[in-house]
């Protein structure tokens, strides 16, 4: 993506979201790019996924539902069953990225679609977008600092910590939990159990 293409993408996304939301999107992009550089994955993909991750955030529930239900991708349609309506903007964003912005890379589409719930088997790009959205400097909720301290040590441990905190928050407040979030927490719990602890410092 050239600087001009990035500028065009930002201008286009700005037409669909508030100025405040656009500031959040740009903070997510900045952190996602930093994480992509640190973890050795494509900065361009991180930038594209971050700029588009909330493109559907201010669409109506009926628009988002229609987009997700009519998707060609079964793993996107699966998210239409969510009991948490807030989740829908993520798969709807992936549909818009594909249909209106010509994004065909499955890693970018999955990163957008799973940025709210997480999912088992997330790749590096999907973890980075999820975590950049969770940890961008505009976030100030309890526990965010704990995840920030893990970002450059282990993406999997960061995911496990973030998902555990999210599930605790949702359950404590009696809010609906999407099955992808529960499955992702179980997946990262198994992964983290198998990651050897860092070697003791001499």
- As measured in angstroms, the least distance from the Cβ of 89 to Fe ion is 6
- As measured in angstroms, the least distance from the Cβ of 22 to Fe ion is 11
CB atoms within 10 A of CB 184: 27
Q: Which is nearer to Fe ion, 133 or 178 (CB)?
A: 133
Q: Which is nearer to Fe ion, 94 or 150 (CB)?
A: 94
* Unique residue bearing structure tokens 């996602």: 32
Binding-site residue total for Fe ion (CB under 5 A)?
A: 2
* Unique residue bearing structure tokens 């605790």: 168
Q: Which is nearer to Fe ion, 75 or 194 (CB)?
A: 75
Question: Distance between CA 148 and CA 158 in Å, rounded?
Answer: 8
Instruction: Give yes or no for residue 54 binding Fe ion (CB under 5 A).
Output: yes
Question: Distance between CA 92 and CA 76 in Å, rounded?
Answer: 8
Q: Which is nearer to Fe ion, 29 or 133 (CB)?
A: 133
Question: Distance between CA 61 and CA 194 in Å, rounded?
Answer: 40
Instruction: Give yes or no for residue 133 binding Fe ion (CB under 5 A).
Output: yes
Question: Distance between CA 174 and CA 195 in Å, rounded?
Answer: 32
- As measured in angstroms, the least distance from the Cβ of 56 to Fe ion is 9
Choices 125-133, 145-153, 163-171, 178-186; region in contact with Fe ion by CB under 5 A:
125-133
Question: Distance between CA 69 and CA 189 in Å, rounded?
Answer: 30
Contacts with Fe ion by CB under 5 A lie at: 54, 133
């Amino acid at each position: 993506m050239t600087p001009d293409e990035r500028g065009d993408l930002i201008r286009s996304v700005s037409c669909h979201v508030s100025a405040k939301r656009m500031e959040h999107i740009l903070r997510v992009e900045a952190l996602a790019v930093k994480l992509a550089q640190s973890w050795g994955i494509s900065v361009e993909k991180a930038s594209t996924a971050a700029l588009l991750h909330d493109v559907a955030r201010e669409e109506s529930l009926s628009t988002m539902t229609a987009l997700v239900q009519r998707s060609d991708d079964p793993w996107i349609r699966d998210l239409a069953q969510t009991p948490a309506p807030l989740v829908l903007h993520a798969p709807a964003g992936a549909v818009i990225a594909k249909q209106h912005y010509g994004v065909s890379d499955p890693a970018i589409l999955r990163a957008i679609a799973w940025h709210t719930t997480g999912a088992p088997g997330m790749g590096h790009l999907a973890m980075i977008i999820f975590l950049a959205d969770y940890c961008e400097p505009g976030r100030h909720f309890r526990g965010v600092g704990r995840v920030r301290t893990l970002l450059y040590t282990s993406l999997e441990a960061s995911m496990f910590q973030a998902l555990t905190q999210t599930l605790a928050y949702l359950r404590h407040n009696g809010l609906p939990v999407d099955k992808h979030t529960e499955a992702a927490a179980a997946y990262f719990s198994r992964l983290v159990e198998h990651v050897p602890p860092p070697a003791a410092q001499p």
